[in-house]
Amino acid sequence: MSSAEEQELGQQIGGALTLIKPGPPPTAGIMRRGRGIRRRRRVAGAVAVVAAVAVGIPGLLHAVAHIGQSPGPSARPLTVSRLGPVARDGVIGSGTIGGKPWVVRLAGSRDPVAESAGLPVTGRLGTAPVGSAPVTFAGAGTGQERLLAGPVSPAVEYLTMQAAGGPVYKLWPVAWHGHRYVGLVVPRNLAVARFTAYSAHSELAHAIPFPVNGFPLIVSWLFPGAASPPPVSMGVNSSGNSTYRWWDVEAQIGPWGTCLVQTAGAGQVSCRPTRSYPPDAVITVMTDRWRGLHAGITGAAVAYIKLKLRDRKTARLPVIHVGGQGFWALSVLRHPGPVASWTAYDTAGHPVAGGTGPPG
Amino acid sequence: MGSGTEAEFSAFVQRRWPQLVRLGFVLTGDAGLAEDLAQTALARVYASWSRICRSGDPDAYVRRVMVNANRSRFRKRRVPEQLTGAVPEPPPADQIRGCDDRMALLAALMGLPPRQRSVVMLRFWLDMTETQTAEELGCSVGTVKSQASRALAALRASAGLVEEVSGEQR
């Protein structure tokens, strides 16, 4: 590629990126975060290694009254229109948000992407949902609106999306090149309590979405007869030699699946379906480089984890068990990380797993 | 930090914000995450603003923070439904024909694997040399070359983009 072509490609990319229209910069918030980082650095400077101390299981294990991140202002009113069974010009969804119309359109025949004006394009949707799911949504959005679209199983007649304490929206699949899709745009903070998939005669499955940044995330589907675990929230809080708390990770387990949520700091969320792991499993689910944070899940046999640090000290990392899964979190400052190796032990003190670096 | 320095930082944020969010979008495939990434990077820059200014290249610093933060996020984060608008593979051109050309290019770009996307962004959008790109991404120049070559081949493979990418005439 010649330099002229390189330059042209750069210009074309620049042109394409103008489709992304960022809002105004949250300068005050950025400065607040920056001051927080500076404060933490000063504290951290006095602490050579902060290995996590997960504390107080009973006191921190409680029913989730408030799932996910705290809700913001109310969502703008949403309407969803019913379209014909076959997509015209690729349109698979339409409606209004706050009185302003939205349209979801598919582009591509064999394995389309979905697009809606003013929002990024989704990933490729595929032609069928993943596994036994009635629908698999791909998402794309801005801070205020999120496009959800995906292929629907042939068994599904229609879906509903129930807003908490609000209306129930019916989503009718629309055929496009021999496959059926649903698509909609949801406003931020529309608290979605439940998605339900119906056949012509009965309920097929439902999903309790997990709210992430004000938008619903479907982690797993519950089929009739399946146990629906009650919501439980578990804090895995850290403190170091100083008592300055500088990050929190919460495991939120419930009918949506298992989610690790950083309730302070970057607000990361990592979710996966709740499942039985091998007894000796130790898995990293979340990392936050800036806080030196590692958090994860273990199998039922892991009672605690011993960390061997590079300065030859050791630290004991508790594992908190809920519903057959164990949870751990630690923070290690300095680069490269000071954890040389780890060993997981069962309740009898027998090693069951291990490795180098941080666990998982 | 004095008010003069704060004003200077504020002006830096105002100037760079759109570019950083766009870079973040290409890195993450999600506008929300892009803004988070840009905010994270700028907050870190703010925390060391005086030192970074003395180093003379806050742009490079903030870019590096974004690339690293995203790499870390991508390596370890496993979410069943990825919160992303990324296209795993670029759709064939006949599928996107009729769309806006910029949309098609963006879709094709977002269809590249994350590393190739990063290389394309740094090399061709930010006009960095192969050496600079390698330094930013923490990899070898050879890796940059091979990733760029694969990325361009993938972009060319989207038939509708042949003309745009290669500059060839029909």
- Identify whether residues A187 and A252 lie together within a single domain: no
The A residues from 16 to 45 touching B (CB cutoff 8 Å) are 16-20, 22-27, 29-31, 33-38, 41
Domain endpoint, select from A216, A246, A273: A216
Per residue in A162-175, pLDDT (tens digit) is 998 778 999 999 99
- CA distance, residue A253 to nearest chain B CA (Å): 15
Q: What is the pLDDT of residue A66?
A: 34
HEC profile for A110-168?
Answer: CCCEEECCCCCCCCCCCCCCCCCCCECCEEEECCCEEEEEEEECCCCCEEEEEECCCCE
Domain interval for residue A240:
30-67+231-356
Q: Is B61 on the interface with A (CB under 8 A)?
A: no
As for how many domains chain A has, the answer is 2
Task: Kindly state whether residues A142 and A95 are assigned to the same domain.
Answer: yes
Contacts of B32 in chain A (CB under 8 A): 141-143, 146, 213
Average pLDDT over every residue of A80-89: 94
Task: Give the C-alpha separation, A255 to A222, whole Å.
Answer: 8
Nearest to B39 among A20, A26, A139 (CB): A26
Q: What pLDDT score was predicted for residue A267?
A: 65
Q: Do A271 and B105 touch (CB under 8 A)?
A: no
Around Cβ B22, how many Cβ atoms within 10 Å?
24
Provide the total of helices (H) and of strands (E) in chain A, helices listed first: 3, 27
Question: Both A244 and A297 in a single domain?
Answer: yes
Gyration radius from chain A CA atoms? 23
Same domain (yes/no): A340, A240: yes
Q: Please, which residues have CB within 8 angstroms of residue B135's CB and are 6 or more apart in sequence?
A: none
**Residue A208 sits in the same domain as residue A139:** yes
Digit-coded pLDDT (tens) for A109-153: 888 999 999 888 888 999 999 999 999 999 888 778 999 999 999
Residue A202 Cα distances to A132, A205, A299, A300, B96, angstroms: 16, 9, 36, 36, 37
Pick from B17, B81, B106: CB nearest A219: B81
pLDDT cut 90: percent of chain B above it? 4
Q: What is the DSSP string of A14-81?
A: HHHHTT-------HHHHHHHHHHHHHHHHHHHT-S--------HHHHEEE-SS-SSPP-SPPPPEEE-
Same domain, A97 and A159: yes
CB–CB of A156/A197 below 8 Å? yes
Same domain? A122 vs A179 = yes
More confident residue, A52 or A352: A352
Least-confidence region, from A88-102, A311-325, A337-351: A311-325
The residue out of A157, A182, A216 marking a domain boundary is A216
Output B93 or B132, whichever has higher pLDDT: B132
Measured in angstroms, the CA of A294 and the nearest CA of chain B are apart by 9
CA angle centred on B64, ends B59 and B65, rounded to 5°: 100
> Could you tell me if A63 and A110 lie in one domain?
no
* A102 and A59 belong to one structural domain: no
Domain ranges of chain B: 3-76, 93-166
In chain A, the residue whose alpha carbon lies closest to the alpha carbon of B153 is: A1
- Does A156 lie in the same domain as A38? no
Predicted local confidence at residue A50, as pLDDT: 31
> Which of A19-33, A192-206, A279-293, B108-122 shows the highest mean pLDDT?
A192-206
Looking at the structure, tell me whether residues A315 and A270 fall in a common domain: yes
Is there a domain that residue A176 lies in? yes
A73 pLDDT tier (thresholds 50, 70, 90): low
Q: Is the pLDDT of residue A4 over 80?
A: no
**Residues 83-122, chain A: which have Cβ within 8 Å of B?**
107-113, 115, 119-122
Alpha-carbon dihedral angle through residues A186, A187, A193, A194, given to the nearest 10 degrees = 0
What would the pLDDT profile of B92-102 be if each residue is shown by its tens digit? 344 334 345 67
Which CATH architecture fits B93-166?
A: Orthogonal Bundle (1.10)
Question: Does A5 map to a domain?
Answer: no
Domain closes at, from A183, A216, A249: A216
Neighbours of A66 (CB within 10 A): 10
pLDDT at A94: 96
Average model confidence (pLDDT) across chain A: 80
Q: Which residue has the higher pLDDT, B108 or A102?
A: A102
Mean pLDDT over each residue of chain B, to the nearest integer: 72
Let me know whether A179 and A200 are in one domain: yes
Asked if the Cβ–Cβ distance from B78 to A38 is below 8 Å, we say no
For A207, the token pair is 């999903």
CB contact under 8 Å between B96 and A108, yes or no, is: yes
Number of helical H runs and strand E runs in chain B: 10, 0
The answer to whether position A7 is within a domain reads no
pLDDT, residue B95, reads 37
Residue A221 belongs to a domain: no
